[in-house]
Structure 1
Amino acid sequence: MDRKMSRKLIAILTICTMIALMLPAYALADEEVPEDNGVVQNGEEAVGQDEGVLTEGEDGEEGELEEEEEDVEEELAEDEEVAEEEAEEVDAPSEWAVPEIELAIENGLVTEKVLSNYQDDITREDFCELVVKLYEALSGVEVQLPEENVFTDTENPEILKANALGIVFGKTETEFFPNDNITREEIAVMFYRALKAVHPSLVAESFEVTFADMDEISDWALEAVGFMSGKGIIKGLDGNIVAPKANTSREQAIALVNRTYELFKDVEIEEPVEEEVEEEVEEEVAEEAAGDEEDGENGEDEPEESEENGEEPVEEEPEEGEPVEEETE
């Protein structure tokens, strides 16, 4: 009996001991969940903290990107400045032409169109615009636009004015070819005609052509080339050649226009006879000629010199041996 009771007690103690041992384990298990949750939460918090770190990283990256963009923009701006400087250098006139161009601008001898691409060859159209300005500056007369346009390939008023002044003509009766480049001998002729249009006395001198390549100058340009070179406006190139068929750059044309103006601007020009006076003189001459013809047809003799002087004619005595003619009524 005692043994049975002892066994039961031992069993009960064993069970109690086991329960006592198991309860803390369950308690720990229950506590581990919130700890895990805490870990997760901490992890989430960590993630949140990490996110905060990432946010800071993103801010840093954005800052770096902005800096890179600024650097790129600065580089682009620098490239643009360099390109503009290079373009300006390419578009800038040659050093020798700078003072000529500045003076031509001051004298009002240029157009905006020719103040760029200075090394490009000048066209017939562009040079017409310059030579009309030269004529107006020297003559003090504003050229009026003619009513009729004789050309079918241009409506440029300066070309029409130059044509009306007799400074330039078309390559055909109806075509001007405004975009063709102009040669050195053509420029010489246009200058010569412009000066002559201002007043013939300006081109009264003649000069001998002494260029080594004078045989290449067209016959119709020989006088003009000689005059312009003799005046020191058109100068020879290396080897004493004038290169009459070569083209002329914009800066060269501007320089030539300015030299011509500076040379002739102070030359005194006689006032031309008014057209009305010329017409009256021509009418008087025509009337006198018509009157003389009528007198001849009527058989009237011209008065003798003594009658013109207001003296009565003296009858000459016949020489000896010469029969005297009797007057008949």
Structure 2
Amino acid sequence: MGIVADDGITFGKGIEITSPAGGKIGKNSDDEYTVVKRNGEVADEIEISKVSTSGNKGGGSSGSSSNSYTVGGAPIKPIPRPGILPTAKTFDDVHSINHWAKANVDYVLEKGLMKGVSENMFDPEGNVTRAMLVTVLYRNEGEPAVNRSISFGDIDMGAYYANAVSWAKQNGIVVGITENEFAPDESITREQIAAIMYRYAIYKGMEAVTLEENLHFEDSDKISEYAVSAMNWAVGSGLMKGKSESALKPQDLATRAECAVILHRFVETNK
């Protein structure tokens, strides 16, 4: 994939590409560039809406091409369709040990919903914060524009999660642990994930009500009152399963691997 210059335009250094569809250009460790569209697909060709004038003569150019070019001296590498990013990214703690959630981790990575904690580690057994989960759902919606006013007093409006929490609050997806507190950095429990996913499903217009009793676990009485309907729906829809045949463990902290599994099931079931 590359850029074709109009006559009279010479590209120099400092080229900056902006996609009209809100896509992103990413560079990997080999200095190869890929263009990922807002819906998560990888483009092998993309219309260029703007090329910055920094270091260039004649201004900007637009168009699409399958030719090769470089950005900042690095090659742009085309990736063939279908438009899901291939699993080029591998993590020592997932792929090297063939982790049980490997396919789910690959899926959320390909969709751009989750990222590694470092260049070679995903930390599948690590915890997920409340802000992280809401940010993932916000990404899945394409990061829409939001009114950044919010009633939670513990939200740093300069933090990475500010827009996500604002969006989730305004759309009834989160309600906070108290009226004025969201606790963004608090690790999320399994029942809290169920409650948020339940409200997210309602937000998306999905059928999220079931009259069937699905909570046939020895520890079902440990589910907080606010989360009973959500857990019943999550189990009944196949979104969540017990930690064993007899234990749901609603108060357990959710791991990153478990979060990847839940997100994979949700997105695939509700395309």
Give yes or no for TM over 0.5: yes
Letter aligned with residue 218 of structure 1: S
Partner of 1:203: 208
Give the structure with the higher percent helix. 1
Shift in CA distance, 206/260, structure 1 to aligned 2, threshold 3 Å: farther
Q: CA deviation at 1:103?
A: 1.4
Partner of 1:236: 242
Letter aligned with residue 167 of structure 1: I
Partners of 1:206 and 1:167 in 2: CA distance = 22
Partner of 1:152: 153
Partners of 2:133 and 2:96 in 1: CA distance = 19
**1:206-257 superposed Cα distances (whole Å, 9 cap, x missing partner):** 3312122111111211111111101111001224211010000112112111
Partners of 1:191 and 1:228 in 2: CA distance = 8
SS in structure 2 of the partner of residue 241 of structure 1: coil
Give the structure with the higher percent strand. 2
Q: CA deviation at 1:149?
A: 2.4
Instruction: Answer whether contact 2:209 2:233 (CA < 8 A) is retained.
Output: no
Q: For structure 1, list consecutive stretches of 5 or more residues without a partner in the other structure.
A: 1-86, 266-329
Partners of 1:128 and 1:227 in 2: CA distance = 19
Partner of 2:104: 100
Instruction: Answer whether contact 2:93 2:123 (CA < 8 A) is retained.
Output: no
Instruction: Answer whether contact 1:229 1:235 (CA < 8 A) is retained.
Output: yes
Superposed CA RMSD in Å reads 2.5
Shift in CA distance, 207/132, structure 1 to aligned 2, threshold 3 Å: farther
TM-score (norm 2): 0.58
Partners of 2:125 and 2:135 in 1: CA distance = 18
TM-score (norm 1): 0.48
Instruction: Answer whether contact 1:206 1:223 (CA < 8 A) is retained.
Output: no
Q: For structure 2, list consecutive stretches of 5 or more residues without a partner in the other structure.
A: 1-90
Partner of 1:162: 168
- The percentage of counterpart residues that share the same residue type is 27
Instruction: Answer whether contact 1:92 1:117 (CA < 8 A) is retained.
Output: no
Partners of 2:229 and 2:163 in 1: CA distance = 28
Structure of greater Rg: 1
Tell me the matched-pair count.
173
* 1:106-145 paired onto structure 2 within 5 Å: 106-111=110-115, 116-134=122-140, 136=141, 142-145=143-146
Q: Which moved more, 1:89-98 or 1:227-236?
A: 89-98
Shift in CA distance, 103/147, structure 1 to aligned 2, threshold 3 Å: closer
Q: CA deviation at 1:109?
A: 2.5
Partners of 2:265 and 2:178 in 1: CA distance = 31
Shift in CA distance, 180/93, structure 1 to aligned 2, threshold 3 Å: farther
Shift in CA distance, 163/131, structure 1 to aligned 2, threshold 3 Å: same
Shift in CA distance, 225/120, structure 1 to aligned 2, threshold 3 Å: same
Shift in CA distance, 108/225, structure 1 to aligned 2, threshold 3 Å: same
